[in-house]
Chain A
């Protein structure tokens, strides 16, 4: 069975701190996506990772993909309140998009 596991599922942190969200998956794939969802809103594409070793950065967020370890990370640097949201990873494999359960991130001022 194809599985995508995110951890932690819930994260509360202080502004200015660094943290990492992990996305492990059980199938072979070299494509992975990260999405952001604000409360009551739809999903917004953050990063598209297309190959092993891919690294993408946007502001205080950086995503990476290690296809051999079947692991992607979303690193938050010097968190700010505006980054509070739920973050989903999704693995693209064999005509399917398999979603993680999401990580709800709360950043306190």
Chain B
């Protein structure tokens, strides 16, 4: 069974440029997460989807970040314009619906963003 697939793996851009990351979750997983991870730190939730609905986007900086999951499967995370502080690894994860629980997460390899 295929795991969570993310692309691109690496992206280097200049500040003020836009960037987009793509994620394909594990088949059948209706819950999808975007996390940000800085070097030496734990993951920080940006947004959580249940099917196509964003059920928790309280930590997403909406002035420059946006995300979508149009058909409840693939998802895209966009940053426009990027700032130096956005340099980090962007992780996508998916899980089965577990009611009130998040459940076990399965992570993709991540997209490492460097903003120059």
Question: Contact at A45–B104, with CB atoms within 8 Å?
Answer: yes
Whether the pair A96, B102 counts as a contact (CB closer than 8 A) is yes
- Tell me the chain B residues, 85-103 only, with Cβ under 8 Å from chain A: 91, 93, 100-103
- Label chain A's interface by main secondary structure: strand
- A contacts with B, residue count (CB < 8 A): 20
A101 to B45, CA, bound (A): 14
Given contacts A43-B91, A95-B100, is CB(A102)–CB(B41) below 8 Å? yes
Residue in B closest to A86 when the chains form the complex, CB atoms: B40
Question: Are B103 and A102 touching (Cβ within 8 A)?
Answer: no
Residues of A within 8 A of B108 (CB): 42
Q: A42-B109, A42-B110 are in contact. Are A33 and B42 (CB under 8 A)?
A: no
Q: Which of A88, A97, A99, A101 gathers the greatest number of chain B CB atoms within 10 Å? A: A97
> Known pairs A43-B93, A97-B102, A102-B41. 20 more at Cβ < 8 A?
A31-B101, A33-B104, A33-B105, A41-B109, A42-B91, A42-B107, A42-B108, A43-B43, A43-B105, A43-B107, A45-B104, A45-B105, A45-B106, A48-B104, A92-B103, A95-B56, A95-B100, A97-B45, A97-B105, A101-B42
